[in-house]
Structure 1
Amino acid sequence: MTFLRVFLMSILLSISPLVGGAPAADTGRLAAPPAGQLLLSDAKLAEIHRLEREDPLMRGLLDRVREAAEMNLTLPPNTHLQPGDRNMLGQSRAAAGRIIASAFAYRVDGDKRQLEAARRDLLNVCGFPDWNPVSFLDTAEMGFGVALGYAWLRPELSAEDRATIRAALVRNLLGLAPEAYQREGRGALRWQAFGSRDTTLNNWNFVCNAGFVAAALALRDEEPELAAQVLAGARASLPLAMGGFAPDGAWPEGPTYWSYGTTYLVNALAMLEETPEGDAGVADRPGFDRTLFYALQVFGPTGLSFNFADSNPAHDYSMPLSTYVWLARRFGHPEVLPEVRRLLQAKVRESSLDKRGMSGRGLVFCALFYPEKQASAPAAATTLPLDAHFRGEADFVVMRSRAADPDALWVGLKGGHNNVPHSHLDLGSFVLDAGGVRWAVDLGQDNYGLPRYFDRREGGQRWKYYRMNNRSHNTVMPGDRLQSATATAPIVRFESAPEEASATVDLTAAYPGAAKKMLRQVSLPGRAAVVIEDKIEGLRAGESLTWRMLTPARITLSEDGRTATLTQEGKTLRAVVSAPEGARFSASPARPPTREEKQNDGISVLAVTLVPDAPDLRLIVRFEPEPAARE
């Protein structure tokens, strides 16, 4: 088959989801780079060695990789499913992490101990009866690590070892491609590349496609038909989930699942770029070119994320910085790289090594996609706008008082859709930083093992859990109503001016029938305070209204209840409820209704509850940080 024909076919296949199915496999032999080149070419290896000589940050990064690889030498073999396990995702991640770190350390240093460690771990997991396809993330992540280890070490492995690893990759992953990439998406496999299942359209898409792509490229000389089917199918399947980035780059499942899914997506695209057909335009899907800025701006000046949905609070340096680098280069944003270097310095300094062997992998990818010094580019922290609106299923706004200031005032506001995977009933919720402290918090995920945790139907069990529903989020609630699980709350107004910023979210549909109109406006007047103003029209007679904010701070209420003084870490934030007349603060522990749920120790609820005299009202709360006491 001519190169032109392959190229033209890849373009047609990349748009095939628009006409209803997976492409047929191209069974021609695919040109492959030399063995060991998958994401780690000889040229890349030479570049890493050069940077180690010239750049202290790369030296420090490689030293951390070596630490992780040394620790791998002491760890016991990974195991298959153990009694009581819900899945073996932890085992898959540990195995992949060990294999990647050890194999990379061998390629960089030629240390035979690391070659033997990687070989040992490869043969161990390739001897498992399966990679738990019942939970296909387990299979995909294991396959990704095994494929890279095989590709990087193939010239050093014996014929017998290569045969064992190749057979396991085919048996446990690549051989499942005909079922996974079945055109109607109706196969029995627990993950399908096409169709309308959540796992086809959310972060699973990126993880599972990346595992298949890695296996296909590692084995495309030996298994050309399966490899061709996977590569064509992945180019057609990935865009189905990438619609979640449109139009402005926000990811509806929250920053944790942005980190997880987008990392695998970028790895898949980087591997596809090594083929003659490239990614066939997959990376050009709407919003993907802006998702880097969402990832940077979802973090406040404290360095903590606005961890909406099933996300836990994360430090900015813990994010996948290799993904940032790839995105910056792919879409032409060198101004971001100095900020990524700053974060990488913190990662090298602050991150600890996971005792199961998972952590070395992320460090390896930071070396593969490395933020080299920029001669004159300004840091992203000084070029990013103070305020930003990311439209889409998340519909997310951030506003701050000053750039590149860890003590700046910062607020994030969440609108968008409730009916997306991993969502909470959190429409209208906000988080707040001031003085280097996070004051208003999102509690994050609960235990995924809770009964029917993922039952997202209207009235489903998921919404009875405290952390999942609006009773634990920093929003407003009529009566004791839960938000509708299918509601949408659009950001209907966003303004950014030098002296002020504001955003308004329409919460009317979140509480069907409760009021004629419910609007929440969040503003930064003079960029010196945060004001939360809820405007309610036509509230049902006798209906109460509750305003909530969850905080780790110590709360002291004034005698009249109109002022709350919050203190933590030697800092003070003052909250004043200025309207309506008679509104009062209260404070209580943020306890869930059952012992099985996370107990939220150290978190309090600052609340205002009232029964309005009239159907129309404005509830206004103003926050101002107090200047730090001079020593």
Structure 2
Amino acid sequence: MIRNRLAHEARLMFLASIKTGEYKTMWWYKAYLQNHLWVDMCGLATAGFALYGEVPDAEIWINQAHSKFLKILEALGTDGASHEGVGYWSYGVEYLLKYLDLAKQLLGCDLFNNTWFRKTIYYRLYMSLPRGMWKDSMTIVNIADCPMRDWYGPDYILRKLATEYKDGYAQWLAEELDKAGVVSPVSGWLNILWYDPTVKPTPPYDLPTMKHFDDLDIVVMRDSWINENILFVFKCGPFIGHSALKKFNYDPGGGHVHPDVNHFILVAYGKWLIVDDGYLSKWTRQHNTIVFNIDGREVGQLGEGSMWFKGDEVIKRKRISAIIRVESNPIFDYVIGDAYNIYPDIVGLKKFLRHVIYLKPDIFIIIDEIETTRPQVPEWLLHYDGTLRNIGQNTFILTNGDVNLKIDVVLPHEFRYEIYEQIGVRERGQEKRLPTLKIVPLQKSNKTIIIVVLHPAKSGNEHPSIMEIHENGKLGLLIKYKGEEKKILFNFARKKRNDRIFELVGMDEPINTYSFTRELPPLDP
């Protein structure tokens, strides 16, 4: 009875995975970057292996699944990151690993020699929340359609990665998650099969505090791996990554991506401060980026407007976004995100560069350069957790428990602001309220500069004084903090989009531990 049912379901799964007029092909049959295909083909292969030699079609099922997995592995990016978010990463990677393990044992085919798999442990590691924040419902950064915890494992997933790649960081993270009691009980038995005690756990304390995933273009910044007081995550890449965007002329599985180009989150001292919207319908306005008000109508990024991201809209128009510069050194981390042409043509966007300057250990300067072919009104959005109040003409204080975030709006000088609740909608129609700060310049312009300084601190601790200055024909900031002064000048007349926008006056040029630049072709006039 079990054999007959398994064979019946496998036949249906096989027919659903091929293009045939005899049976309804499922939408995921060529969604090589979507978890549905990964899970279903693992099931088809497993049925084929179980019934091999007993059911004539079993070999066909194995061959079909294997061919799909070869295309899946080819489609994966080069940086180990997941466009679907960490939650779906744990779900999808479990089934990828199950198939790779079966193929190695039963087919003698070792598919583990794959760049994405070798690097994916670092995606899960860097996207971990600070260790002191872990609890059953909260362990990870929730960018894309993602909760704040892993749906599956991830202890046994990490142990398999540790076993295959002799990676002590993976082994360490698995052990720490187990000790904290924050793993999912699903498939926990795989810990027995996939654990290699010869791989010794290695704490990440020797790893850089900044990580750039250069295919999806996500940058993660920390103040430390030991104290872990501050975590900042910035995102500005193609919705499925640079590699996949070059390979596919259709959307191969980007439905769980968000319209969140130039979006960021901030966690400090154990509290969420600047937040993502979570698993909701896809709207730019729910993210910490820019929308435009055109004749009273809100216009966000391409792909928005439904429960699932409309990736074909982006691919058919050949649109892209990218991180075009990253620097990291002991003094600062620096990122430039280029929204490029990811907004609809009605915006007339010529430039939306977002610069993030992380002056270590705890000051963030966000600079937006916005140019359009005709005067527009950009709306600068920030979503937060806590209570927000205005304490002066251009200063806000966000309070979440015993942590404050000071928000200084340096530019524009004249703006209106709104503090309100944005309403997001979940898949089954439930509403989620998103506390929101909106900054809107009072004047339309085809060139707008927005500068905002963020500083998190424990309640009662000092915040820096931020003063606008003009020196040698340049706009700058004078930052007074803890008895010291730092002067930073900006160069808005740079020759190239990916040139550094600032200089730290009176300081020797620090030596970068990481440096990256990317050139994009000129935008169409």
For Structure 1 versus Structure 2, the TM-score category normalised by the shorter chain is: 0.7 to 0.9
1:179 to 3, 6, 15: 15
**2:369 equivalent to 1:369:** no
**2:51 equivalent to 1:237:** no
Residue 415 of structure 2 aligns with an amino acid whose one-letter code is A
Distance 1:521 1:319, change over 3 A: farther
Aligned position for 2:469: none
Equivalent runs, 1:342-381 vs 2, <5 Å:
342-347=176-181, 350=182, 360-370=185-195, 372=197, 377-379=201-203, 381=204
Whether contact under 8 Å (1:577, 1:585) holds in the other structure is no
**2:20 equivalent to 1:209:** no
1:606 to 420, 428, 437: 437
**2:328 equivalent to 1:504:** no
Aligned position for 1:565: 397
Aligned position for 2:116: 287
Residue 292 of structure 1 aligns with an amino acid whose one-letter code is I
Q: Distance in 1 between matches of 2:93 and 2:80?
A: 11
2:377 to 540, 544, 550: 544
Residue 140 of structure 2 aligns with an amino acid whose one-letter code is S
Post-superposition Cα deviations, 1:212-247, rounded to whole Å, max 9, x if no partner, equal 122122222423x43322333322211323345311
Residue 41 of structure 2 aligns with an amino acid whose one-letter code is N
Whether contact under 8 Å (2:222, 2:228) holds in the other structure is no
Distance 1:593 1:333, change over 3 A: closer
Q: Distance in 2 between matches of 1:208 and 1:595?
A: 22
Equivalent runs, 1:49-64 vs 2, <5 Å:
none
SS at match of 2:392: coil
Shift of 1:292: 1.6
Structure showing greater radius of gyration is: 1
Equivalent runs, 1:450-461 vs 2, <5 Å:
none
Whether contact under 8 Å (1:549, 1:607) holds in the other structure is yes
Shift of 1:404: 3.0
Shift of 1:517: 0.9
Shift of 1:621: 1.2
Shift of 1:256: 2.0
Aligned position for 1:468: 282
**2:206 equivalent to 1:383:** yes
**2:439 equivalent to 1:618:** no
1:484 to 276, 299, 302: 302
SS at match of 2:212: strand
**2:172 equivalent to 1:338:** yes
Post-superposition Cα deviations, 1:108-137, rounded to whole Å, max 9, x if no partner, equal xxxxxxxxxxxxxxxxxxxxxxxxxxxxxx
Aligned position for 1:521: 355
SS at match of 2:452: strand
Residue 39 of structure 2 aligns with an amino acid whose one-letter code is V
Aligned position for 1:313: 148
Equivalent runs, 1:182-193 vs 2, <5 Å:
182=18, 188-191=23-26
Distance 1:208 1:318, change over 3 A: closer
Distance 1:505 1:221, change over 3 A: same
Distance 1:409 1:295, change over 3 A: closer
Distance 1:390 1:408, change over 3 A: same
Identity of aligned residues (%): 24
Q: TM-score, normalised by structure 1?
A: 0.62
Residue 262 of structure 2 aligns with an amino acid whose one-letter code is G
2:98 to 267, 275, 278: 267
Post-superposition Cα deviations, 1:505-528, rounded to whole Å, max 9, x if no partner, equal 111312234221111112211232
List gaps (5 residues or longer) in structure 2. 241-250, 304-313, 462-525
Aligned position for 1:165: 2
Residue 378 of structure 1 aligns with an amino acid whose one-letter code is T
SS at match of 1:361: coil
**2:363 equivalent to 1:534:** no
Post-superposition Cα deviations, 1:577-626, rounded to whole Å, max 9, x if no partner, equal 1112223543111224999843324x310121114464222211111112
Shift of 1:398: 1.0
Q: Distance in 1 between matches of 2:39 and 2:210?
A: 32
Residue 397 of structure 2 aligns with an amino acid whose one-letter code is T
Q: Distance in 1 between matches of 2:428 and 2:7?
A: 41
Q: Distance in 1 between matches of 2:22 and 2:334?
A: 48
Shift of 1:386: 1.0
Whether contact under 8 Å (1:551, 1:605) holds in the other structure is yes
SS at match of 2:87: helix
Residue 544 of structure 1 aligns with an amino acid whose one-letter code is V
SS at match of 2:128: coil
Whether contact under 8 Å (2:260, 2:284) holds in the other structure is yes
SS at match of 1:519: strand
Shift of 1:373: 7.7
Whether contact under 8 Å (2:412, 2:441) holds in the other structure is no
Equivalent runs, 1:32-111 vs 2, <5 Å:
none
List gaps (5 residues or longer) in structure 1. 1-163, 352-358, 447-466
1:441 to 272, 275, 281: 275
Distance 1:384 1:186, change over 3 A: farther
Whether contact under 8 Å (2:33, 2:76) holds in the other structure is no
SS at match of 2:325: strand
**2:259 equivalent to 1:425:** yes
Aligned position for 2:222: 400
SS at match of 1:249: coil
Q: Distance in 2 between matches of 1:593 and 1:188?
A: 34
Shift of 1:253: 1.8
Shift of 1:188: 2.6
Q: Distance in 2 between matches of 1:626 and 1:324?
A: 33
Q: Higher strand share goes to which structure?
A: 2
Aligned length: 423
Residue 616 of structure 1 aligns with an amino acid whose one-letter code is K
Residue 273 of structure 2 aligns with an amino acid whose one-letter code is W
Whether contact under 8 Å (1:502, 1:523) holds in the other structure is yes
Post-superposition Cα deviations, 1:249-298, rounded to whole Å, max 9, x if no partner, equal 112222222121111111111122221x33x3433344222112112212
SS at match of 1:213: helix
Q: Distance in 1 between matches of 2:284 and 2:142?
A: 15
